[in-house]
Amino acid sequence: MKKIIFPKSLKKGDKIAVISPAGAVDASQMEKGIEMIKSRGFEPILGEHLYTRFSNGYNYAGTEQERIKDINWALNDPEIRAVWASRGGYGCQHLIQHLKMNGFTENPKWYIGYSDNTVIQSYLLKKGFASIHGQTIKTSSFGVTDESYDLIFDILKGKTPKYSLESHQFNKEGNIEGELIGGNLALVYALLGTKYSFDFKDKILFIEDIGENFYALDRMMMSLELAGVFNKIKGLIIGGMTNMGDEKENKSYEESFDEFAYKLIAERISKYKFPVVFGFPNGHIKDNRPLLIGGQIKMKVGTKVKIEF
């Protein structure tokens, strides 16, 4: 089994690159997050095209070439100690064929993001590097808890998270240990059959999503089944399922674990015996607590749920 490399802990004064690898952002959406980095004693270094806007059927943060330039700078500049995505959206798939890793390999650094950033995190894990599946810098419409960010800074300083959850009616009990993979379900699905897809064998898979019709959710789950994913993994964690079906309004954190979406997932995996956790607080939700993609976790699912790295 390949040994996964965890980047070194950061210290006060270290530089954190802030880039936009996918969707466009406005400066007003970024002020709070950038000030937060400064207040924690780190120096935010803004990518050249952080606020660039390029419309081509979607509002991207620059052309493909501009976004490729920014991410390769952030990954490989020896002065940068971590890379934090401004947001997700769509566009990270444009980048992965063009990523350069020479400087990163010599000087591994944390990559922080979620949603569309799942693509980058799958790529990094293929190369043997862990990353942080956690809140992006942009202030989201549904808000972000302080703890969501606190826990990311804890990881950057070398502390790994431990989580204790209430049980859920759809959970499947069991105790397992394994490497955590996954992220946004739509991107896990989009990478299936490519050389950039996660290696699912004997892994614990995490999935979350937002804004999918129920039939699309089932189609993605069905594709995972047809690809043999559920025969390969040894555990499954389901996070937020927000604004699913034909729901148009943003829901509160408490309503972001869509029960009908959970029911569809539970039905699709009903014949498999691996332990399953529903309702993990990570995803497009207010209480978005970080996970370590590539981290080894212990997962105990019973009357209570415990997950620790």
pLDDT attached to residue 251: 47
| Residue 71, CA distances (Å) to 22, 64, 280 in order | 10, 11, 29
Residues 6+ positions from 64 with CB-CB distance below 8 Å: 91, 94, 95
What are the structure tokens assigned to 80, written together? 């940068």
Distance, in Å, from the CA atom of 31 to the CA atom of 230, rounded to the nearest integer, reads 42
pLDDT attached to residue 194: 98
pLDDT attached to residue 1: 67
Neighbours of 158 (CB within 10 A): 11
Domains and CATH numbers, the chain: 15-156 (3.40.50.10740), 162-286+294-308 (3.50.30.60)
What are the structure tokens assigned to 233, written together? 């993994």
Q: What is the pTM of this model?
A: 0.96
Going residue by residue through the chain, which has 309 residues, state the pLDDT in tens, using 9 for 90 and above. Answer: 679 999 999 999 999 999 999 999 999 999 999 999 999 999 999 999 999 999 999 999 999 999 999 999 999 999 999 999 999 999 999 999 999 999 999 999 999 999 999 999 999 999 999 999 999 999 777 788 999 999 999 999 999 999 999 999 999 999 999 999 999 999 999 999 999 999 999 999 999 999 999 999 999 999 999 999 999 999 999 999 999 997 554 444 446 899 999 999 999 999 999 999 999 999 999 999 999 999 999 999 999 999 999
Distance, in Å, from the CA atom of 285 to the CA atom of 291, rounded to the nearest integer, reads 14
What's the sign of the alpha-carbon dihedral 54, 81, 33, 284?
positive
pLDDT attached to residue 246: 72
* DSSP annotation string for 250-267: PPPGGG-B-HHHHHHHHH
Burial 292-301 (b: 16+ CB within 10 A, else e): bbbbebebbb
279 closest CA partner among 243, 309, 246, 238: 238
Residues 6+ positions from 178 with CB-CB distance below 8 Å: 202, 203, 204, 234, 235, 296, 297, 299
Q: Which residue shows structure tokens 């922080």?
A: 112
pLDDT attached to residue 2: 78
